[in-house]
Structure 1
């Protein structure tokens, strides 16, 4: 009888211990007093962030990225002048060459006054490295495409590229604490880059119409984005989008060529 009681007692103890172990494995450990319990990673040192878009807070590194964006836009627009037969796409590309050439001159002039020698930007993380590689791959693709396939690829890429540029500039505005001429340059970009994006979106719609498909651009209600306080979807039909960083002016659909 005593042996039976010992067996029951041991079984009960093992059962209680097993329940306790299972509970400790499945129940989260409460955070220490005063801890927030948040798992959000800390922002990278030396980086400004806005809704997932990041740029270096170092002035030279930021200028190098602006220079890279401008040069990429000019190169792709030059390919559009050569490989597209669509007058709307060609007009849009002509506007981009003018606007980004003027914008790049401002960047380089500012860098010169600050005695900064700009170079090809070095990626700060894996995300930026992949983005730069994707840009090179996109240029390589545009070099071989012709006609309608070029138009669709180029214009869709332009909408995405300007979304990326807007995000980076908004990150700079929120986190760089820029002053003087640099602050003015950033503010101008936050106002003008959305106009580029709208021009690209409207021209993409015309390309889709020419191909007999719908889904974006002129005449559509979707496609608007919200970067902070800026909403920049397709503007009402017939409105014009004034130029961008270079101050040129053209219609949102790109049908009026910049003189």
Structure 2
């Protein structure tokens, strides 16, 4: 019985750790030391598998968090600096919608095992667009904001659709699938903005 357990643990550790295809005879040492070593190898392998499984989920969560942060920051600027009533109204809707999205993402990510902590750090491109908006005034601001909103929502929709189809964390896939229709609606609204 001990040999079967040791062999099973060794095979599992190799499978998880990605051992080569070279086959070696199963360990026949049934000492406590050998069993203990194989159990710790298996635990390390499981830890590596868990870390690998959350990597894609972490990247997805970070990208969504940064997208929300950009939407909120740029829309706050639009609510204050926008020249047209349509831009200001859209901006207010985006602040609310993306604040809600961020809260849902945090709730979903914190419930994962291991938990994922979304990092809302803007990309260099997002920061550059935000800086350009800060310098713009009047109709120039509205035009730039509208263009940024279309581009940001196109990128967000593509991200959600891709992750919803082939993401590696089921709960985040469900989040992506549930959010995609809202982002598609926002994209249509952004395309209809008249600066």
TM-score grouping bracket, smaller chain normalisation? 0.5 to 0.7
TM-score by length of 2: 0.66
Query: Which residue of the partner structure matches residue 117 of structure 2?
Result: 117
Gaps of 5+ in 1: 1-55, 123-131, 208-259
Q: CA-atom RMSD, angstroms?
A: 1.9
Q: Are residues 162 and 60 of structure 1, via their aligned partners in 2, closer, same or farther at CA, if it must alter by over 3 Å? A: same
Shift of the alpha carbon at 1:186? 1.2
Gaps of 5+ in 2: 1-53
Query: Which residue of the partner structure matches residue 200 of structure 1?
Result: 190
d(CA) in 2 for partners of 1:107 and 1:176?
15
Shift of the alpha carbon at 1:93? 0.1
Shift of the alpha carbon at 1:133? 2.0
d(CA) in 1 for partners of 2:121 and 2:58?
9
Query: Which residue of the partner structure matches residue 93 of structure 2?
Result: 95
Give runs of aligned pairs for residues 1-259 of structure 1, distance below 5 A: 58-114=56-112, 115-120=115-120, 132-179=123-170, 181-203=171-193, 206-207=194-195
Asked if 2 retains the 8 angstrom alpha-carbon contact of 1:74 and 1:97, the reply is yes
d(CA) in 2 for partners of 1:190 and 1:171?
10
Asked if 2 retains the 8 angstrom alpha-carbon contact of 1:142 and 1:154, the reply is yes
More helix by share: 2
Q: Are residues 57 and 121 of structure 1, via their aligned partners in 2, closer, same or farther at CA, if it must alter by over 3 Å? A: farther
Asked if 1 retains the 8 angstrom alpha-carbon contact of 2:69 and 2:120, the reply is no
Q: Are residues 136 and 121 of structure 1, via their aligned partners in 2, closer, same or farther at CA, if it must alter by over 3 Å? A: closer
d(CA) in 2 for partners of 1:137 and 1:121?
13
Shift of the alpha carbon at 1:160? 1.1
Asked if 2 retains the 8 angstrom alpha-carbon contact of 1:57 and 1:172, the reply is no
TM-score by length of 1: 0.51
Asked if 2 retains the 8 angstrom alpha-carbon contact of 1:61 and 1:121, the reply is no
- Runs of 4+ in structure 1 over 6 Å off: none
d(CA) in 2 for partners of 1:81 and 1:140?
16
d(CA) in 1 for partners of 2:99 and 2:117?
18
More strand by share: 1
